[in-house]
Amino acid sequence: MVHRYFPHTSADIAEMLKRCGMESLDDLYSDVPDSLKLKRNYDLKPQMSEKVVRDFFEELAVKNQPLTCFAGAGFYDHYSPAVVQSILSRSEFLTAYTPYQPEISQGTLQYIFEYQSMMTQLTGMEVSNASMYDGTTAVAEAMLMAVAHARKRNRVLVSATVNPIYREVIDTYAHYHGVTVDTIPEKDGVTDVAVMEEMLNAGDVAGVIVATPNYYGILEDYTGFADKIHAAKALLIMTAPASALGVIRTPGEWGADIAAGEAQSLGMPLNFGGPYLGYMCCSKALIRKLPGRIVGATTDADGRRVFVLTLQAREQHIRRDKATSNICSNQGLMALYAAVYLSLMGAKGLREVNEISAAGAHYLAKRLVETGAFELKYPDKPFLNEFTVKFRGEVKLIDFMEVCTSCGCLPGVMLADDELLVCVTETRTREEIDRYIWRAETFSKATLPSFAENKNIND
């Protein structure tokens, strides 16, 4: 058969087989026991033309319903500039292998170096690796790093205010790696520092994991945390959405030893969960325990400043079972995404993204409370662009969610039967926000049919 991806003509095949001293393609598998051979075609459709492939995807596509996004919970609907996608589709970047041959991979090595530089600026840390798969695995690996650093202590404390999805991944890694994970309880939406101190005093703690903003959107005040944690010889691991780090106090400023988290908020498409981008930064003293790839600057034979993968002796292909981590790639192209996005936005643009998002979120929060349908769950706590509300309407929150969805809007993420986590980014227009408010106002008092009849509520 002929396929557009295979260059072989039957004459080529015949000639190549002859050179190998064989008569048929089957001869190439003479070493495979006959009992193991698949003697039928796969139970799959025959090859498709590009047109039919396209139709297949279009058919699936119409089964998805795009929603105006007021959901966050770790994944944010920020704007993605056209330039980024254009550069990512350069096949020299897209179709390159890992930069093991620096002489013909300076493009990849250079953008990773830029990415590392930018991430250290955002997190306020000294060094960064070339990236991790996503935020959840980055934090789980930070936990392993803390345990490796502590040598004999293998207990890690995680604040109850950390995103529960992160916590689940941490728990999975910890369970199999033999790490004990204990929860620092929350008090009024923030980490209970008094209990943390008791837990630290009990000893054996290798690291403490906290989030900023936390899962409820609250900007916690971590004053004094680093000192207490360091006094117990443990490491402070802090996670934050990368975009927010353009304005909020950084892990470095809080005295963290490791900053690890999700960088999807740097304009990356939501893509139903991935690919995203995990970041991992730390103090220079910990660089040898930092997992993954690291790019460093050096000089070449002609004295030029060039870039190479460095500190490779830490990695799995050399250390095998002694390596800090089993990771052997990074999230290459997504690191390029972050570098190009941050090049376009700069510090000023990133600040504006946060300003517009926060302005929208505070406006929405205030107006939702004014409708009488909602109240803020933590009215005294500062937040950036995400907040938690309690539903006080006469119907159920789940019904409000369904009505919003049918109007083309995702109003947030439900944390409990009557609690909603709401997020506003710079991509939400005033009209969209006002329609949300109107829906809350009307629906909390109305019955379902009379609400659905109104024509002006759809996004």
Partner 1 sequence: MNKKYYGKLIFELSRPGRQGYYLSKNGCDDALDSLPANLLRENAPELPEVDEPSVVRHYNNMSDNNFGVDTGFYPLGSCTMKYNPKINEEMASLPAFSILHPFQPSATVQGALEAYYELQKMLSEIGGMAEFTLNPYAGAHGELTGLMVIRAYHESRGDLKRTKVIVPDSAHGTNPASAAVAGLKVVEVKSLADGTVDVEALRALLDDTVAAVMMTNPNTVGIFEHNIPEIAEIVHECGALLYYDGANLNPLLGVARPGDMGFDVMHINLHKTFSTPHGGGGPGAGPVGVRAGLEKFLPNPRVVRRQPGGGDALFELDFGTEKGPNALGRISAWLGNFAVELKALAYILSLGADGLKMAGPLATLNANYVKECLRDLYLLPIDRVCKHEFVFDGLADKSTGVTTLNVAKRLLDYGFHAPTIYFPLLFHESLMIEPTETESKETLDEFIGVMREIAREAAEDPETVKAAPLETPIRKPDDTAAALNPVVTYAEL
Partner 2 sequence: MSKTYYSPTHEYITVDGNVGYIGISDYAQHALGNVVYVDMPEEGDEIEAGEDFGAVESVKAASDLIAPVSGEVLEANEKLADNPRLINEDAMANWIIKVELSDLSQLDSLMDEEAYKAHCEAEK
Which residues contact partner 2 by CB under 8 A? 288, 311-314, 318-319, 322
Tell me the closest approach of the beta carbon of residue 12 to partner 1, in angstroms.
4
Report the partner that residue 10 touches, choosing among partner 2, partner 1, none (CB closer than 5 to 8 A by kind).
none
Residue 260: phi and psi, rounded to 5, are -145, 140
Between helix 397-406 and helix 430-443 the angle, nearest 10°, is 130
Q: Looking at this protein, which amino acid is placed at residue 345?
A: M
- Residue closer to partner 1 (CB basis): 157 or 361: 361
Closest to partner 1 by CB, 209 vs 336, is 336
Rounded least distance, CB 314 to partner 2, Å = 8
Whichever of 154 and 243 has its CB closer to partner 2, that residue is 154
Considering beta carbons, is residue 180 or 310 the nearer one to partner 2? 310
As a whole number of angstroms, the distance between CA 184 and CA 283 comes to 24
CB distance 191 to 220 below 8 Å: yes
Nearest to 271 by CA among 322, 348, 331: 331
d(CA 242, CA 14): 56
Cis status of the peptide bond prior to 81, with omega within 30 of 0: no
Could you tell me the smallest distance in angstroms from the CB atom of residue 201 to partner 1? Answer: 26
Shortest reach from residue 258's CB to partner 1, in Å: 15
Closest to partner 2 by CB, 322 vs 455, is 322
How far is 255 from 125, CA to CA, in rounded Å?
Answer: 9
CA–CA distance, 449 with 429 (Å, rounded to integer): 27
Residue 447 touches which member of partner 2, partner 1, none, C-beta under 5-8 Å by kind: none
34's contact among partner 1, partner 2, none, with CB below 5 to 8 A by partner kind, is: none
Given partner 1, partner 2, none, residue 382, with its beta carbon under 5 to 8 Å by kind, binds partner 1
- Residue 392's binding partner, choosing from partner 2, partner 1, none, with beta-carbon cut-off 5 to 8 A by kind? none
Which of partner 1, partner 2, none lies near 326, with the C-beta cut-off 5 to 8 A by kind?
partner 1
Min dist. Cβ of residue 414 to partner 1 (A):
9
Query: 380 touches which of partner 2, partner 1, none (CB within 5 to 8 A by kind)?
Result: none
| Of 177 and 288, CB closest to partner 2 | 288
**Parallel/antiparallel/unpaired status of strands 235-239 and 205-211:** parallel
- Would you say 298 or 450 has its CB closer to partner 2? 298
Tokens standing for residue 93: 């970047």
Select the binding partner of residue 442 from partner 2, partner 1, none (C-beta < 5 to 8 A, by kind). none
Cβ atoms within 10 Å of 188's Cβ, excluding its own: 10
* Cα–Cα separations (whole angstroms), residue 391 to 1, 216, 302: 63, 15, 67
**Residue 48 DSSP one-character state:** -
- Per-residue burial over 294-326, b if 16 or more Cβ lie within 10 Å, else e, is bbeeeeeeeeeebbbbeeeebbbeeeeeebbbe
Q: How far is the CB of 252 from partner 1 (least distance, A)?
A: 9
Minimum distance of partner 1 from residue 62's CB (angstroms): 7
Q: Closest separation between CB of residue 373 and partner 1, Å?
A: 20
Contacts of 187 (CB under 8 A, 6+ apart): none
Nearer to partner 2, 104 or 318 (CB): 318
